[in-house]
Amino acid sequence: MSNEMSFITVGLNPTLQKTLLLPRVRAGRVNRCGECRFDAAGKALNMCRVLTQLGKKCVHLTQLGGSLRPIYLDLCKKDGLDIRWAESNSAIRFCYTIIGKDKRQVTELVEEGEAAGEGAQAGLLEALDRLLPDASVLIIGGSKTAGFSDSLIPEMVSMAKKRGLFVIMDTRGPDLINSLPYRPDIIKPNLEEFACAFAAGKKLSKKQAASLCREIWKQHGCSIVLTRGAQNIWYSQTGTLEEFPVRAVNALNSTGSGDAFTAGLASALSGGASFRAALAEGARCGRINALLLQPGSIGQLTINN
């Protein structure tokens, strides 16, 4: 991959994220918040923000509708993000992160997105088709809201691969499984999502995960990165499962750390880094994100590898 590459991130479930930092969280009591944030969020939007902060040219494609759209777009503008969208006539969902500072415990409350309206799917495909000629990397992240068919994300992967783009998928379930025949370059579910997609949700040993990675490589030729929270990363480039160490930090807000990891991985690969060096950059970005209150961000903070 060349360091001149530009990125498209696609997210089909836009989010307005409220992050509340409390001295402590007391169940069944009035809890007063000392510090809070309000951000545009969602997995792929978080990736776009981190890629932008890393100095990469990135466009985020999503669906938007409802009365909160101007607020969402204004938050994106403040973060310097390039947003393209298709009309969906559906309200943007809210999600909440509640952090008890005393124990560094993070609780997330996630709304289901409202179903996208008629014409949103065609609008997204048309918008993506216009963006593809100027891009080199497509990253698809997160779940899609109701109202979209299971053919949408696989079709996006197919369109990108036909144009020679490098494709990274951080999705799950049918969206991931149905896209594999179009040979995305990297799939990056967490281990639980991987098990749900390929092992009926059974807990996987490393040996079992290795066998599945080998079979997926044989059939579809894609590299696999399996994040496991604070545990070491499992990854496979050519069907052989290997391990990459993860260094723990005293996290403040882990929300979006997986998205920061994906952005760091993609950024490093675009600059010609080796796979392990790209994993290291992804892990670095994930650690930085975990130290910040804003989800899906590396801000101006730097820490050593």
Residue 68, classed as helix, strand or coil, is: coil
- What the chain holds in terms of domains, given with CATH numbers, is 7-15+42-86+116-291 (3.40.1190.20)
Residue 249, classed as helix, strand or coil, is: coil
Q: Which of 79, 72, 9, 14 is nearest to 44 (CA)?
A: 9
Mean pLDDT of 166-194: 96
pLDDT band at residue 305, thresholds of 50, 70 and 90? very low
pLDDT tens figures, 27-45: 899 998 889 999 999 999 9
pLDDT tens figures, 97-118: 999 988 888 999 999 989 999 9
Residue 211 reports pLDDT greater than 90: yes
Mean pLDDT of 58-72: 97
pLDDT for res 2? 45
Residue 265 reports pLDDT greater than 70: yes
286/4 Cα distance (integer angstroms): 23
102/140 Cα distance (integer angstroms): 35
Mean pLDDT of 268-290: 96
Secondary structure (DSSP) of 143-211: PPPTTS-TTHHHHHHHHHHHTT-EEEEE--HHHHHTTGGG--SEE--BHHHHHHHHSTTPPPPHHHHHH
- In this prediction the pTM is 0.94
Among 1-5, 72-76, 90-94, 111-115, name the one with the lowest average pLDDT: 1-5
Mean pLDDT of 277-290: 96
* Mean of per-residue pLDDT scores for the chain: 94
Packing angle, helices 191-198 and 206-220, rounded to 10: 60
pLDDT for res 227? 94
Decide if 212 contacts 199 (C-beta within 8 A): yes
The tokens of 258 are what? 């997986």
Q: What are phi and psi of 264, to 5 degrees?
A: -65, -40
198/192 Cα distance (integer angstroms): 10
pLDDT for res 248? 87
pLDDT for res 103? 86
pLDDT for res 3? 43
pLDDT for res 229? 85
Pinpoint the alpha helices (H) of the chain.
43-53, 69-78, 120-131, 152-162, 173-177, 191-198, 206-220, 257-270, 275-291
pLDDT for res 27? 87
Number of H helices, E strands in the chain: 9, 13
pLDDT tens figures, 119-154: 999 999 999 999 999 999 999 999 999 999 999 999
pLDDT for res 273? 97
Q: What residue type is assigned to position 9 of the chain?
A: T
pLDDT tens figures, 227-262: 998 899 999 998 999 999 999 899 999 999 999 999
Mean pLDDT of 264-290: 96
